[in-house]
Amino acid sequence: MITVSSLTDLRKARKKLCEPVGFVPTMGYLHEGHISLVRRAKSECRSVVVSIYVNPSQFGPHEDFEKYPRNLEGDIALLEKAGVDLLWTPTNACMYPPGYQTWIDVEKLSQPLEGALRPGHFRGVATIVAKLFNCVQPQKAYFGQKDAQQAAIICQMTEDLNFPIDIVVCPTVREKDGLAMSSRNCYLTQEQRSAAKVMVQALDLARQLFEQGERQTAPLVEIVQHTVEQQTGVILQYAACVDPKTFLPMDTITDQALLLIAIQTGDTRLIDNIELTVAPVAG
Ligand code: PAF
């Protein structure tokens, strides 16, 4: 694996890669979820590029930018083992030089849910991902379904800005007990880690209700709310059933919906979601 930091070195190394190039943008502190994206990219592309950059512009002033976990040595070992061709670790000077003033705002999709709780977050995400795309010029880029709203925003931005890139959204990778993998899970104390499982339990109960035939979203959202409220040490930030394309709330599920949840335990926010799909009627 070649590791580069400057844009000049990235461009030189990129020119030598066989196409199609698959790209996995990350903020590092990699786990099995990231590696599953790399594996998918390797199965579909002749070369794989990964970036590691903790993007300051997607963190709010009181968020965890400073303490966001970092472990470049460990990440490099994992990426080497996974067979990545090129790792890019851009610097702040390259991404946001003095005088920087261009931002990308995916207007509607960025407003609800995570966007409402984290003002400016998706503007930072869309901007950095567009910049990374411009520099790496991949044919395909890979994102996790756990960050469903982020993935939808990146799909919209890619289409709106005419990037010739296929966005591939890959399934959430979970711990043995079902908790979605996240770099932020390392913040959790043992008690918080155990309490956080309620997210999965709540989503599972809603899924069961849906599988029993419930198509109104209110009872699905209520069961999530009620389940989380029973758990000490966890605050529900939102539970919502939305249209997967618009992220607007829906009353009745006729085809597909996303059921999303965000909780806070201690200082840590965690998110998760499940897809609810109405099976087509046979015949
Ligand atoms: O999901 C992430 O790790 C980040 O939001 C991303 C897409 C790498 C942009 O900084």
Pairing of strands 256-265, 268-277: antiparallel
Q: What is the mean pLDDT of residues 193-214?
A: 98
- 266 and 132 within one domain: no
- 203 and 132 within one domain: no
- 134 and 24 within one domain: yes
Judge whether 229 lies within some domain. yes
pLDDT digits (tens, 9 = 90+) for 128-139: 999 999 999 999
Judge whether 271 lies within some domain. yes
The two tokens of residue 148 are 């469903």
Rounded Cα gap, residues 34 and 3, in angstroms: 18
Are the C-beta atoms of 138 and 49 separated by less than 8 Å?
yes
Q: End-to-end distance of the chain based on CA atoms, in angstroms?
A: 51
Q: What is the mean pLDDT of residues 94-113?
A: 98
- 187 and 165 within one domain: no
The set of residues, in sequence order, having a beta carbon less than 8 Å from that of 219 and lying 6+ positions away, is: 209
Percent of the chain scoring above 70 in pLDDT: 100
Percent of the chain scoring above 90 in pLDDT: 98
pLDDT at 262: 98
- Please count the helices (runs of H) and the strands (runs of E) in the chain: 10, 9
pLDDT at 282: 79
Is residue 34 flagged as an active site residue?
yes
- 252 and 208 within one domain: yes
Domain ends where: 128, 148, 170? 170
The two tokens of residue 74 are 């460990």
**Residue 252: φ, ψ to 5°:** -125, 140
Q: How far is the CA of 276 from the centre of ligand 1 (A)?
A: 25
Q: Would you say residue 181 has pLDDT above 80? A: yes
CATH number at residue 59: 3.40.50.620
Domain ends where: 138, 170, 202? 170
Domain that holds residue 152: 2-170
Q: Would you say residue 283 has pLDDT above 80? A: no
147 lines ligand 1 (CB under 6 A): yes
pLDDT at 172: 98
| Tally of structural domains, the chain | 2
pLDDT digits (tens, 9 = 90+) for 240-257: 999 999 999 999 999 999
CATH number at residue 233: 3.30.1300.10
- 134 and 43 within one domain: yes
The two tokens of residue 51 are 């970036």
**Residue 52: φ, ψ to 5°:** -125, 115
26 lines ligand 1 (CB under 6 A): yes
Q: How far is the CA of 197 from the centre of ligand 1 (A)?
A: 24
Indicate the pLDDT class of residue 34, thresholds 50, 70 and 90: very high
- 220 and 165 within one domain: no
- Measured by CA distance, the residue closest to atom 5 of ligand 1 is 125
Indicate the pLDDT class of residue 277, thresholds 50, 70 and 90: very high
Judge whether 149 lies within some domain. yes
